[in-house]
Chain A
Amino acid sequence: MVASTWTRRHIISLADFTIAEYDIVLQTAASFQEVLSRPTKKVPTLQGRVVANLFFEPSTRTRNSFELAAKRLSADTLTFAPGSSSLTKGETILDTALTYLAMGTDIMVIRHQHAGVPQAIAQEMERVGSQVSVLNAGDGQHEHPSQALLDLFTLCCVLDPDQPRASLMQGKKVAIVGDILHSRVARSNLWSLITCGAEVHLAAPPTLLPEFFRSWGAPLEEAGARSPLHLHWSLEPALADADFVMTLRLQKERMTQYLFPTLREYHRSFGITHDRLKHCKSTVKVLHPGPVNRGIEISSELMDDPRLSLISQQVSSGVAVRMALLYLIGSGKVGDGKS
């Protein structure tokens, strides 16, 4: 069983994930995707275990995806909603986490609007000597590991539906377009795609793509190898011969921070349309982590074009990948660890 080589307790960041770990996630997700295609889409893997979804920041799709993943594994789930919580009564985030620990939680899935909170809770869990695992479901502008892993799974399934594996990404050109500066999805994808050997091209106006992003590619440059990371302030060179295009959500309030003049100019310069994709390989596919601003970062027609858009595959892959992650970090605590 592949899980026997899995040693990671928490999943906070993809910065130190290895190719072997990506392969384990991809293989495990593939087996759960097979489960999800059965008439009875449920396995007893995490029966009797408690998965708490602590979503300090509002979220619909990620929270539901994790909740469904946990339920498909037969775990009991708890959901934390900040509006009705004790946070407004003066409780700290660590108090909240310790409360869920006291309820017997085994895995905490944490979403927070500020970077570093899942890491702080993981450290607190270790400090108090508990065995709880923490899974980062998106923290501020830092990381969104499960999104990047489901993106990787989606891409690898396009390349080989029967045997998705990290090596398939070797040399593939992936363009990431949009508000990279504020995107946790982009940061996690940078770690995973570069580690798996993809050639990553980032495209955005300079205000949304500072030079500091070169640091993701730096170690390879230092080693004398060609950097697999390229930064562009215009769209065309990023799209030229691309295998995949990832678009990112643009939050409209960025305009008031002097980051770009108008949504119109943004769409005309960096919006992805059928026409723009002519620069890419003929087999190109488009991804978006959702929710989409139709007509801003991607045209409505393209989003709805099943030949090119992988958006709905991303959502369905999400459940299988999150089942895999819950299984991998939870299986050490469920006896034989078989799925």
Chain B
Amino acid sequence: MSSELLQNVRVLNPASETDRVADVLIVDGIVKTIAPQVTEMPFETQIQPCEGLILGPGLVDLYSHSGEPGFEARETLDSLLSAAASGGFTRIAILPDTLPAIDNPGNLAWLQQKFREVRNQSKTLDKPISLPHPYFWGALTLNTKGQQMTELRELAAAGVVGFADGQPLQNLALIRRLLEYGQPLHKPLALWACNLDLVGNGVVRDGVIATQLGLPGNPTIAETSSLASLLEIIATFDTPLHLMRISTARGVELIQAAKAKGLPITASTTWMHLLFNDEALQSYNPNLRLEPPLGDRQDQIALIQAVQQGILDGIAIDHTPYAYEEKTVAFTEAPPGVIGLELALPLLWEHLVATGTLSALELWRALSTQPAQCLHQTPATLAIGQPAELTLFDPHCAWKAETQTLKSLSSNTPWLGQPIAGRVVRIWCPG
């Protein structure tokens, strides 16, 4: 039997709108008691004083990239899961753009087997660590090339969490048929609204900053015109659709209007788009080269408000590892994306919650329960009698993001070498 008592911990439970200090007793992976003061507990209970620490349901990442298979120098499944655990995630959904892609049940089975090996290995460590549970998005199209539909029924039966390419699909006829064909599968489809013709060679959001910096601009309409088309198409079907990587104020308006009409959609932005806007690009740091690009200050404010109001359901991490030599190039040539699993919660907390922009519950909801709902999963809840799927976070634990301190094999982040104000203490993951 294992028994732990977390004393005086700040309990956040979005499901019950709870934010209070209490003692939490966890016995054999089940939350036994939550009370102002727990005095009755099994013999040999480990007692941990937790003043100032935060305990909430485990974080859920909507979409991130694995380097394995195909790009193991960037990230392995092992390093990805370790990074996710260090960042407080108990579930992560992995995009299918591996090499080979997760576009058939065989490749999915290989990754599931790989996960079992990683998990078994972690149990043999001197100090066994909890690992998050990985879920896999099945590709919508073969090799995520946006041309030929994958065997969606077979993938659904093999256990994908939903369908996504992680790349913008350009062919509206294909999108229409995917939504139509996907109706009986009852799995979410995740699409990224982005018209590549309008993007052209753009690498930053078109605007004053792009013009002054001489960087080719990607106009807002590349997102919004594509989004408007997708919303028109989804109105004809019942297939649940998740709209990934919303990055513009106008995109938020379109989502809000579509939800008001009752369309079966959920939506997310990424943590980087909440923390930065294009003013940060003055540094030409290739680690701020993102797709979609950072918006302007108005976009950033609109995205934060949309998270607060629930117009955007989730904050995705979109963890995208790249090796040093891949990212140490001119901004324009840099492949888009940054790592984030280990950094997102501490930095979002520091910049949005500690500043009073979002409440603790608003942030936690957008990182845990709502992403789970976007994936059609039962969200974890911090309640008596429930399995302990939890994240313990210390918002005042100072550390520095460095190659040695990060679990990820890659360190492509603008925070490399920077002090970080908070750190996840540990996660509890059932099973």
Contact = CB atoms under 8 A, between A and B. Distances in A.
Partners in one complex: yes
Interface of A: 15, 90, 92-94, 112-117, 119-120, 139-143, 181, 184, 187, 210, 212-213, 215-216, 257
A114 B212 contact: no
B330 A212 contact: no
Contacts of A181: 211
Nearest to B333: A114
Interface in B269-315: 283-284
A216 B208 CA distance: 9
Contacts of A216: 212
Given A90-B325, A141-B215, A141-B216, A116 B284 contact: yes
A140 B332 contact: yes
Nearest to A127: B417
A116 B328 CA distance: 12
Instruction: Give the one of A116, A142, A184, A216 with max B CB within 10 A.
Output: A116
Contacts of A90: 325
B422 to A, nearest CB: 27
Given A92-B325, A184-B214, A116 B208 contact: no
A257 B284 contact: no
Given A114-B332, A116-B330, A141-B216, A210 B211 contact: yes
Nearest to B219: A210
Given A94-B328, A120-B330, A140-B332, A115 B215 contact: yes
Given A90-B325, A92-B325, A257-B200, A117 B211 contact: no
Interface in B156-214: 200, 206-208, 210-214
Contact of B331 (A92, A114, A215, A257): A114
A257 B200 CA distance: 9
Given A90-B325, A212-B208, A257-B200, A114 B330 contact: yes
Given A114-B333, A116-B213, 7 more contacts: A92-B328, A94-B328, A113-B330, A115-B284, A116-B284, A120-B330, A140-B214
20 contacts: A93-B330, A94-B328, A113-B330, A114-B330, A114-B333, A115-B214, A116-B213, A116-B284, A116-B332, A119-B284, A140-B215, A140-B332, A181-B211, A187-B212, A187-B214, A210-B206, A210-B211, A212-B207, A212-B210, A213-B211
Contacts of B213: 115-116, 142
The 4 closest A-B pairs by CB, nearest first: A116-B284, A142-B214, A114-B330, A141-B214
Contact of B330 (A117, A143, A215): A117
Contacts of B328: 92-94
> Dominant SS at the A interface?
mixed
Nearest to A257: B200
Nearest to A120: B284
B329 interface: yes
A129 to B, nearest CB: 15
A215 B214 contact: no
Contacts of A117: 284, 330
A106 B4 CA distance: 62
Contacts of B211: 181, 210, 212-213, 215
B207 to A, nearest CB: 6
A139 B211 CA distance: 14
A55 to B, nearest CB: 14
Contacts of B216: 141
A84 B250 CA distance: 48
Instruction: Give the one of A15, A120, A139, A187 with max B CB within 10 A.
Output: A120
Contacts of A210: 206, 211
B421 to A, nearest CB: 24
Nearest to A212: B211
A213 B333 CA distance: 24
A115 B207 CA distance: 16
A192 B213 CA distance: 16
Instruction: Give the one of B200, B211, B214, B325 with max A CB within 10 A.
Output: B214
Contacts of B214: 115, 139-143, 184, 187
Given A92-B329, A140-B332, A257-B200, A215 B212 contact: yes
Contact of A112 (B200, B208, B330): B330
A37 B137 CA distance: 71
